[in-house]
Structure 1
Amino acid sequence: MQALYKDLVKHFGGQKLTAIALGVSQANISGYVSGRWNMSELIAMRAEKATDGKFKASDLCPSLKEFQKLTA
């Protein structure tokens, strides 16, 4: 999961720019990248939209992946 968050940060060009794009603090982005916490459903959906689908919300947020399994 951390590698995916790092790729997301690379996509935007840094933690601060990622934070701005997703409407969160840079501290939140740092927490994702370091593995302190996972991305929420809302932020994961923002990331998918902000990257035009390059990063899927269900890949960024474990609970969305679980939800997909239950509804499939």
Structure 2
Amino acid sequence: MDVGKRLLKVEEVRRLVGEDRLGRDAAYALARRYGVRLGKRLLVPSRVVEALLEGKLEELEKTPGVEARGR
């Protein structure tokens, strides 16, 4: 993962995680829940991707200042 890059596009997240492991719909659901919207772009913080890869996504939700936005 590019250390200097803090926000990733949905397709970048899929490439990092593995396109065979994270489908397009699931990636966008992840981005809507944990990501940020800049204009029309939906971006995912790199710490969310790291937590996903380490299996610690639930722990990230418990972190103060990190709120999952569900529908």
TM-score, structure 1 normalization: 0.29
Higher fraction of strand? 2
Bigger RCO (CA 8 Å, 6+ sep): 2
Higher fraction of helix? 1
TM-score, structure 2 normalization: 0.29
